[in-house]
Structure 1
Amino acid sequence: MAERGQEWQGRCCRAAKKRLPVLRWLPKYSLQWLQLDFVAGLTVGLTVVPQALAYAAVAGLPVQYGLYSSFMGCFVYCLLGTSKDVTLGPTAIMSLLVSSYAFHDPTYAILLAFLSGCIQLAMGLLHLGFLLDFISYPVIKGFTSAAAVTIGFNQVKILLGLQNIPRQFVLQVYYTFRRIGETRIWDAILGVFCLIFLVGLQQMKKGIPRIYQMERLYVRASQLIVWTAATGLSILFYKLPFMTGQFFYCNAFFLAARNALVVLFAGLAAYSFQVTGFQPFTLTGATPQGLPPFQPPLFSKVTPNGTVSFQEMVQAMGAGLAVVPLMGLLETVAIAKAFASQHNYQIDPNQELLAMGFTNLLGSFVSSYPVTGSFGRTALNAQTGVCTPAGGLITGALVLMSLAYLTSLFYYIPKAALAAVIICAVAPMFDAKIFHTLWLVKRLDLVPLCVTFLLCFWEVQYGIIAGVLVSGILLLYPLARPRIKVLEHEALFIQPASGLYFPAIEFLRDTVQKQALSEPRLRSVILDCTHVSSIDYTVVLGLSELLHEFQRRRLSLAFVGLQAHVLQVLLAADLEGFYNFSSLKDAEKTLEEELCSASEVLFNDGSENILPTSGIIQ
């Protein structure tokens, strides 16, 4: 009994650790890890706040909803996530999808987060993460590249201060160039300056070595204070040889928080103009202060024309209920796998599904729209030396502090500065090299890439669906048209290069008939099935008809190299005239003897050669 109790206790412990990954690393947590996680969480928090404000605009929602969507994932993933590096929150791609399916309405966006969370939870519990395997890499790159162009150009009108530009991409391009003369010069100057500043800081970051030494926590805290007072000096002197490792660290932290710095400086400039009574910039405007109420999402919406029911809201979101959960999962798992491989640990895709599902489900209770893993913030998290998902707790706390105390300051943030942040964030998503790479490696893969890329400019869901369908066709085509090797001897030798499934049987029959039955010189056929690992009932019927045709012509169709389970299927079908040989030499010898025997019978009495019924010749 004691042994059974211990065994049961061990199973429960393993199950708990599998479903709550926090139990794996929490017992080993150390002060050294705390130092690294604190700095990483703070650095990511300084990045997520300005990005959240900007991504809310991409989603077509008020800016506070970006912050509402930024903290729940930090807390949930700390408990349920299997990657130490991944950070969940609003992203450019997910914001674009929300813009397409939530119609710029917070009620729809929050309900979409709730339903996406439910779907992701169900997929995780049913272990359906394998569905992502059917979305090929060219489709992913086509979508992300199109999303980068769409999101980036969508910010151009904000950068220029243009108003009332359509959101549909083609019309947006047309009207942006048509109304370029209405550009607000101050918005354009500020936006271009912020872009140059962000790009310059990005280039500076490449010249800073990564420091691996472990400073004490109070040393790092003092560094942050010094950094706050001396950012200007760090820009001017960041490459001088007399710098210590600690000063390098301050510069790295400074450059990692470049988005926050750009927004801060732009806000200070706007506030300075506001004090003088002249405001040349388009500002973000008033943002509600305080934390969002914890309440379930609305399952109906009251409008001036009546009440929109839950069913009507679901129908309106349509394909978004499939696209949003799948793309959210795809982005998170792809990022998690990349960083897990880089840092030598493993993730569980189904557990990632559960983490994302709970994040979106619980996030909908705090007015969040759907979120997913962020590549940029995850890379920043890893580069700053995060050790566990506990770094997300610091990031989440910083977002909550911003909501509680800083929202009044968001009024002065120029929209052009946020547009510059978004453009710099999505620019790396456009991968121009992939077109050249696929041209060199496999040109056929350019078809789903280009189809997805082009159609995503029309509608995102059409681009993704079309790309998946084209990839599916390219995947299934070899099954319907397998390569068939044909060698001519006394008997015709035909060898399919892969398995036989129902789409391929007509092609195989046409090939055999064309090679063996359509010419004046009729010949027997040896079908080498060495590479055939499985067949289905449609193939069995097709082979039966082919055997019947050969019998009618008084010829033989023999099989060679059948695997045991395939042979068992054909024997169970009891096909008339079925032969199986263990080797090609035996098949040729037997068929030659039968042809000679049949010729003698026909020469002597003119009677037909009666072939024996099914059998196995070893």
Structure 2
Amino acid sequence: MIENLRRYVPILDWGRTYDRTALSNDMIAAVIVTIMLIPQSFAYALLAGLPPEAGIYASIAPIFLYAIFGTSRALAVGPVAVVSLLTASAIGQVAEQGTAGYAVAALTLAFLSGGFLVLLGVFRLGFLANFLSHPVIAGFITASGILIATSQLKHILGVSAHGHTLPEMLSSIFSHLSEVNFITVVIGVAATGFLFWVRKNLKPTLKKLGVPSLMADVLTKAGPVAAVVSTTVAVWAFGLDDRGVKIVGDVPQSLPPLTLPGLSPDLLSALLIPAILISIIGFVESVSVAQTLAAKKRQRIDPDQELIGLGAANIGAAFTGGYPVTGGFSRSVVNFDAGAETPAAGIYTAIGLAIAAMALTPLVYYLPNATLAATIIVAVLSLVDLSILSKTWGYSRADFAAVAVTILLTLVLGVEIGVAAGVAISVLLHLYKTSRPHVAEVGLVPGTQHFRNIHRHKVETDPALVSLRVDESLYFVNARFLEDLVQRRVTEGCDVRHVVLIFSAVNEVDFSALESLEAINQRLKDMDVGLHLSEVKGPVMDRLKRSHFLNDLNGKVFLSQYDAWQNLTGDDRINIDSNIEG
């Protein structure tokens, strides 16, 4: 009972061994991450089309809940760029930005996303995220980074542009170029340049000056804060808001409020599919970061429990004025590098953000939107990796097509269609690859008991025996392919008397494949050719024993392919010379 409770509430596990050293390390990490998150939370709320306080609210209760239910000791949960973009795209279809309905839709989206994630976790369905291939994910994130950076150009220029796709955004920006505010441009460009310099050059510069490594890390992570402070002071001191510079304005000075998501059937049905897509993308991003960081300390995470942790975080966001959240790459890496030992670091970060929400929000009244836009641009451009196109082109044309189509559709038709296309392409790519499994005709390597592809190695064969190694599980998609291949190979060689299917790589045979095996067996029987199996795995054999196939088999089942070779070959063996050595 206690073990099951610890599985679903991991804080009961790591909390037992929490000590003063972990407390010290977690507190230091929390200070660094809090400094980083204050401007970042404002910026991502702006990207989602929500008031700046929503970003802070979405970073408080969700972190608490993830610390209780999550398994990663370094993952930092909160608003992230891609999910913020998906949120804006989804709720922009059902409500107008700036209205109460828009905020309620954001709460509802978080609620649906959280419920879906918890449902997947309870039923241990985390494997569904595997249907998104890495190339497709990389393509989607690259396209999203381009869209996000482009969407922030309107704040850098100080114009009122709109749009959810790249053509719409660029067209809208060009049509409003006459409205450009040059003071805003100066602020935005200066902030962007400064933040790029901080990211690449500040830490090495500080180390050269003799600043300790930890302090250099803190100062580097505080770079966005410096940009926020300096530009805010400049706008206040020179009254730039009266000269057209758009600012954040009033931000409520309070802890996250208790809120209720909208539960009307129309709203729920409109946001259900976007919520599922956001859940899948968020989970894939989060679990990949969590696994990477856990591996560095020889720890492990439970993907199914991660679903519950992220689901609880999103449900918490829905009832505390936030919007959908997930584990962020940059903040998690900062949390890890700063020495976080346990999820308690996230709790201390949440406390720090709560203090900021209570005490510091009046100080950001004059914060220019251009600075927040610069923060977003610098953060998301690190997500853009167009090299994935050249890498996949050189390795696999099918993967290249998947990446290229995902990027193109995301940029031209929008993020929701891009995500849906990515999922569809991933599944279709898997079906395509497995529909034509690699089946190698093999022969005996002289002087050994090993069998290799006759087209790659110098091997011994027997014209009366065809040995086919099936390198894929057999199911409805590829069953007929194997039927046709065996039929074609047997009719090509009139001397064939035996066919052996080597099942060493076959982990599953579904009912459609079983029927195909029965058809192969009957056809070969009619041709007076024996059908044999070798190296069949235990679970596959157990399944075959439940049918009549083995009883009707026109041949034998051999423990190894060498046994089949010894029993079925005659004296007329021949050697095959191959042009390819392997």
Both structures adopt the same fold (TM-score exceeding 0.5): yes
CA-based RMSD: 2.9
Mean Cα deviation higher: 396-405 or 66-75: 396-405
The aligned residue for residue 298 of structure 1 is: 262
Taking the aligned partners of 1:546 and 1:17, their CA distance within structure 2 comes to 51
The aligned residue for residue 202 of structure 1 is: 199
Taking the aligned partners of 1:441 and 1:277, their CA distance within structure 2 comes to 53
The aligned residue for residue 483 of structure 1 is: 438
Residue of 83, 90, 100 corresponding to 2:79: 90
**Deviation for aligned residue 1:591:** 13
Q: Is the 8 A contact 2:163 2:172 kept in 1?
A: yes
The aligned residue for residue 123 of structure 1 is: 120
Matched, 1:50 2:39: yes
* 1:71-120: CA deviation from partner (whole Å, max 9, x where unpaired): 11222233233222211111101101111212241111101111211221
- For residue 253 of structure 2, what is the amino acid of its counterpart? Q
Q: Rate the CA distance shift 1:206–1:522 in 2: closer, same or farther, 3 A.
A: same
Taking the aligned partners of 2:334 and 2:541, their CA distance within structure 1 comes to 57
**Deviation for aligned residue 1:146:** 1.0
Residue of 547, 551, 567 corresponding to 1:586: 567
**Deviation for aligned residue 1:560:** 4.3
Q: Rate the CA distance shift 1:137–1:277 in 2: closer, same or farther, 3 A.
A: closer
Q: Is the 8 A contact 2:524 2:531 kept in 1?
A: no
**Deviation for aligned residue 1:334:** 1.3
**Deviation for aligned residue 1:206:** 4.1
SS at match of 1:55: helix
Taking the aligned partners of 2:490 and 2:117, their CA distance within structure 1 comes to 54
* 1:470-518: CA deviation from partner (whole Å, max 9, x where unpaired): 2223323343222333478542515142243333332233233333337
Q: Rate the CA distance shift 1:547–1:392 in 2: closer, same or farther, 3 A.
A: closer
Matched, 1:279 2:243: yes
Q: Rate the CA distance shift 1:291–1:538 in 2: closer, same or farther, 3 A.
A: closer
**Deviation for aligned residue 1:547:** 4.2
Give % identity: 29
The aligned residue for residue 500 of structure 1 is: 474
Q: Is the 8 A contact 2:89 2:164 kept in 1?
A: no
Matched, 1:157 2:154: yes
Q: Is the 8 A contact 1:490 1:523 kept in 2?
A: yes
Paired residues for 1:346-361 under 5 Å: 346-361=300-315
Matched, 1:269 2:234: yes
* 1:217-254: CA deviation from partner (whole Å, max 9, x where unpaired): xxxxxxxxxxxxxxxxxxxxx3555x463xx5444322
The aligned residue for residue 563 of structure 1 is: 536
Q: Is the 8 A contact 1:560 1:587 kept in 2?
A: no
Matched, 1:23 2:12: yes
Mean Cα deviation higher: 366-375 or 453-462: 453-462
Taking the aligned partners of 1:564 and 1:135, their CA distance within structure 2 comes to 29
Residue of 400, 414, 419 corresponding to 1:446: 400
- For residue 466 of structure 1, what is the amino acid of its counterpart? A
SS at match of 2:440: strand
- For residue 124 of structure 2, what is the amino acid of its counterpart? H
Q: Is the 8 A contact 2:154 2:161 kept in 1?
A: no
Taking the aligned partners of 1:57 and 1:536, their CA distance within structure 2 comes to 50
* 1:548-571: CA deviation from partner (whole Å, max 9, x where unpaired): 444555x32332426376667377
Larger of the two Rg values belongs to structure: 1
The aligned residue for residue 107 of structure 2 is: 110
Q: Rate the CA distance shift 1:536–1:416 in 2: closer, same or farther, 3 A.
A: closer
**Deviation for aligned residue 1:352:** 1.9
Q: Is the 8 A contact 2:464 2:495 kept in 1?
A: no
The aligned residue for residue 259 of structure 1 is: 224
Q: Which segments of 5 or more consecutive residues in structure 2 lack a partner in the other structure?
A: 442-453, 455-460, 559-563, 574-582
SS at match of 1:288: coil
Q: Is the 8 A contact 1:45 1:398 kept in 2?
A: yes
Paired residues for 1:267-416 under 5 Å: 267-274=232-239, 278-299=242-263, 310-416=264-370
**Deviation for aligned residue 1:263:** 0.9
Q: Rate the CA distance shift 1:511–1:50 in 2: closer, same or farther, 3 A.
A: same
- For residue 98 of structure 1, what is the amino acid of its counterpart? T
Taking the aligned partners of 1:15 and 1:440, their CA distance within structure 2 comes to 47
**Deviation for aligned residue 1:160:** 0.7
Q: Rate the CA distance shift 1:94–1:492 in 2: closer, same or farther, 3 A.
A: same
Q: Is the 8 A contact 1:270 1:279 kept in 2?
A: no
Taking the aligned partners of 1:188 and 1:277, their CA distance within structure 2 comes to 13
**Deviation for aligned residue 1:32:** 3.7
Matched, 1:463 2:427: no
| Number of matched pairs | 536
SS at match of 2:324: coil
The aligned residue for residue 451 of structure 2 is: none
**Deviation for aligned residue 1:539:** 3.2
- For residue 407 of structure 2, what is the amino acid of its counterpart? F
- For residue 152 of structure 1, what is the amino acid of its counterpart? A
TM-score (norm 2): 0.84
The aligned residue for residue 68 of structure 2 is: 79
Q: Rate the CA distance shift 1:154–1:528 in 2: closer, same or farther, 3 A.
A: same
Matched, 1:535 2:489: no
Q: Is the 8 A contact 1:484 1:494 kept in 2?
A: no
- For residue 128 of structure 1, what is the amino acid of its counterpart? L
- For residue 414 of structure 1, what is the amino acid of its counterpart? P
Q: Is the 8 A contact 1:109 1:370 kept in 2?
A: yes
Residue of 183, 208, 212 corresponding to 2:180: 183
- For residue 154 of structure 2, what is the amino acid of its counterpart? K
Mean Cα deviation higher: 45-54 or 151-160: 45-54
TM-score (norm 1): 0.80
SS at match of 1:319: helix
**Deviation for aligned residue 1:414:** 0.5
The aligned residue for residue 616 of structure 1 is: none
